[in-house]
Structure 1
Amino acid sequence: MSTHDTTSPRTPAAPVDLGASWPGDTGSDRAPTPVRTPPEGAHALVVGATGITGSALVRQLLDAGWRTTGLSRRPPADERAAHAAADLTSRSSLEQALADLRPTHVFIGAWARQDTEAENIRVNGAMVRDLLAVLGPQGSVRHVALVTGLKHYLGPFEAYGQGEMPDTPFLEDAARLPVDNFYYAQEDELFAAAALHGFSWSVHRSHTVLGHAVGNAMNMASTLGAYAGVQRHLGRPFVFPGSREQWDGVVDITDADLLADHQVWAATTPAAANTAFNVVDGDVVRWRRLWPALAAHLGLEPQGPGEQPQPLEAQMAGAEDVWADLVAEHGLTEPDLARVASWWHTDADLGRPMEVIADMTRSRLLGYTGWVSTERALLRRVDAYRAQRLVP
């Protein structure tokens, strides 16, 4: 059998409880993590509280007993959190929303995609600069955590994977690439504000994030769930849209709950202060094994890659009419396909022509032990979207 063939799918089935799928296991897809009890007087501000990373963080903080405020245009999904409504691209809006808020721990997990990297730098660098310029003089901030990603090593979308990159697995002390990158701009604004106002910082470089959010620009779990629904409705196979390099190689992924836990760990662990970290699940997967497992779970016929990637943006062109039929047929709760599927981002991840793996040794040496089973987590995430009728 060719390495690009796939196994035949099992009998189609409804979403299942994966706890019964592995004899003797506990049904969990992650290692138990301790409750990160808040320090005395702690008040967490989660910037981007409705996003794929922010919503997971809000929930974890509240469950651990933190006083938590979400900064976003819309209120956080978890009604236990306070809400500060602001436009992150407006200094005056931030000043009005954050006046006298006095948070002790700030978690930044928001960005605004622009047409060019120069604009990404201008807009997203200013977000961090203005936010900390408003909060810093309040004198309450003890720690700021910033979520970025592996484009720190791969380069921005305009120069993605081009030129000479660090060897894998990526190490946090790798030199910056000689290209414009808004992650670098955000880090520099963070470092400058920390030096000026005297708080500690941490940077969390995640890989592809699997989590739960609607309307998020980078959401592979719901994107693949929507793609599966369209293919099933049309009677078409579940074609892997990416490159042969991604199909055959190994890759890691970041679960949103793990990323949230890692941020809180770094914010409350003195040894982790003023450090940049990679954050991935702790295992590696091959799509040539994961894709058939996902197809079987969803009752679809898997098909491996062609000679060239078959991007979802092209495959799903005009799929809005099919989605409207699926909404009516299954009673789906989100009629706007663009709020469920981010074809472009999943295409970028699955279409890469090179290996992408991040090293977690720095976290391990400082005592962080969290890990997630990527395969189990992906299937559970898709099941959660199906249970909430966000995908069919």
Structure 2
Amino acid sequence: MDQATVTPVALIVGVTGMAGVAITEALKKPTALGGPWTVYGVSRRPLPTWFPSSLLNQHIELDTLNQQQTHKLISPLASQITHVFWVALQVNESEEINISLNSTMLSNVLNALTSSSDSKLSHVTLQTGTKQYMGPIFDPILSTQLVPRDSPYIEEYPRLPFPNFYYDLEDILASYSKSFTYSIHRASMIMGASTRSYYNLLLTLAVYALICKHENYPFRYMGNKYTWEHFWDVSDARLLAEQQIWASVTNKAKNEAFNCTNGDMFTWKTIWKVLCDVFEVEFVPFDEKEKFDFMEFMKDKGQVWDRIVEENGLYKTKMEDITCFGGMEMVLKIEIQHVCSMNKSREFGFYGYANTLKSVPEWVQRLRKMKILP
């Protein structure tokens, strides 16, 4: 792409999620690679009050599952949009349904952008994740049969012999290879700031910690001894944004898949201590002899969260909408070291990293500023 002649115009699909917020902010920085950028954002619902809406040149409220609506609202922009940042997600327990929903959304948007002769689309970034290497861990039937790849996970690993909507989305992008380039970004669990993300690890832990503090309960670990003591990684949303922008303007990175994690490792025991400091709750060491039914404990705590929101004048949220207790408990009971290799990224020239133990308090601070947490 000749930067001199084409002003880059980004369409962020899933703009109100953790990665969407981070990409919006990163593209509008004066130092953004390939900029200055014009930024359009798509979300299913109106923008929440905490969203930095002044950074968007245009917001489009759209359900991308609706083909006619998508064509009507997106195809008129085909002559402007040069880059798509795909951070949208539909989640269902059944992986077959995930494949159908997510493939439909991506196809609807790409068809709307490429069907006209004056289409300017040159690159699409697709955010997926480490289910690439683990398989459909949330599918009640398939999850019992999985044998994940050895960690650290590397991008060259062949696909697992299970349905996985990530594979289908990659194949959809590859089928357009004559029209535009693409890059795949495989995140671990994401840390960022939003009330609109389906798997929001930090907000889930924060809500749990604050409920324990409010009601004087011990802040106990809901995982197993293995994850408490073994290595794990996460992805800072700012790093995801940085890598996606880098790949979208770097020729060498075109049509490649990259892991995107902070580049460091931690044990959950260490993270637990950081959370205890941040939320001023007492550290309780994990004891596998003590039976703790986390889901049972949380199931009637919605009213406690309502009181915390009310007492602190927070942005109105419902506990069920902003947490993923079941998913988190399940993930923290897996007996694998969840670590990705960032070597490929570095070999291709991306050196971004984040210090996980520092980013936890930073994101909590950000959620407090947004009036999502007290």
What is the TM-score with the length of structure 1 in the denominator? 0.86
Q: Say if 1:121 and 1:181, in contact at 8 Å, map to a contact too.
A: yes
SS at match of 1:193: coil
Paired residue secondary structure (1:53):
helix
Q: Deviations over 1:4-36 (max 9, x none)?
A: xxxxxxxxxxxxxxxxxxxxxxxxxxxxxxxxx
Residue 306 of structure 2 is aligned to residue 340 of structure 1: no
Matched, 1:80 2:58: no
Residue of structure 2 equivalent to 1:245:
226
- Aligned pair 1:62/2:28, yes or no? yes
TM-score (norm 2): 0.90
Q: CA deviation at 1:162?
A: 4.4
Counterpart for residue 106 of structure 1:
84
| Equivalent position of 2:342 in the other structure | 360
Q: Secondary structure at the match of 2:184?
A: strand
User: RCO higher in 1 or 2 (8 Å CA, sep ≥ 6)?
Assistant: 1
The CA distance in 1 between the partners of 2:331 and 2:305, in whole Å, is 23
After TM superposition, give the deviation of residue 331 of structure 1 in Å: 2.2
Distance 2:292 2:181 in 1: 44
After superposition, the C-alpha distances for 1:225-245 in whole angstroms (9 at most, x for unaligned) are 111110011111111111211
Q: Match of 1:194?
A: 177
> Which string of whole-angstrom CA distances, capped at 9 and with x for unpartnered residues, describes residues 134-163 of structure 1?
112232110011000000111112234843
- Higher alpha-carbon deviation: 155-164 or 43-52: 155-164
RMSD (CA atoms): 1.9
**Alignment pair present for 1:95 and 2:71:** yes
CA contact (8 A) 1:136 1:193 kept: no
Q: Does the 8 A contact of 1:340 with 1:390 survive in 2?
A: no
Q: Do the aligned residues in 2 keep the contact of 1:323 with 1:337 (CA within 8 Å)?
A: yes
Written as runs of structure 1 = structure 2, the 5 A alignment for 1:275-294 is 275-294=256-275
Q: Distance in 2 between the 1:310 and 1:351 partners? A: 13
Percent identity for Structure 1 against Structure 2: 31
User: What residue in structure 1 maps to residue 16 of structure 2?
Assistant: 50
Q: Please name the residue that 1:175 is paired with.
A: 158
Distance 2:327 2:293 in 1: 10
Residue 40 of structure 1: CA displacement?
3.5
Distance 2:6 2:314 in 1: 44
Alpha carbons of 1:152 and 1:161: their partners in 2 closer, same or farther (altered >3 Å)?
farther
CA distance in 2, matches of 1:162, 1:292: 34
Q: What SS is found at the alignment partner of 1:239? A: coil
- Which residue number corresponds to residue 14 of structure 1? none
Q: Report if aligned partners of 2:271, 2:357 keep a CA contact under 8 Å in 1.
A: yes
Report SS of the residue matched to 1:277. Answer: strand
Residue matched to 1:22: none
Q: Which runs of 5+ in 2 are unaligned?
A: none
8 Å CA contact 2:264, 2:356 repeated in 1: yes
Residue deviations 1:259-310 (CA, integer Å, cap 9, x gap): 0010000000000000001000011111112211221221111223343884
Displaced runs of 4 or more, over 6 A: none
Tell me, in whole angstroms, the C-alpha distance in 1 between the residues paired with 2:144 and 2:156.
Answer: 18
Structure 2 distance, partners of 1:311, 1:378, is 26
1:28 matched residue in structure 2: none
What is the rounded CA distance, in whole Å, between the counterparts of 1:350 and 1:317 in structure 2?
Answer: 18
Deviation at 1:99, TM superposition (A): 2.2
SS at match of 1:111: coil
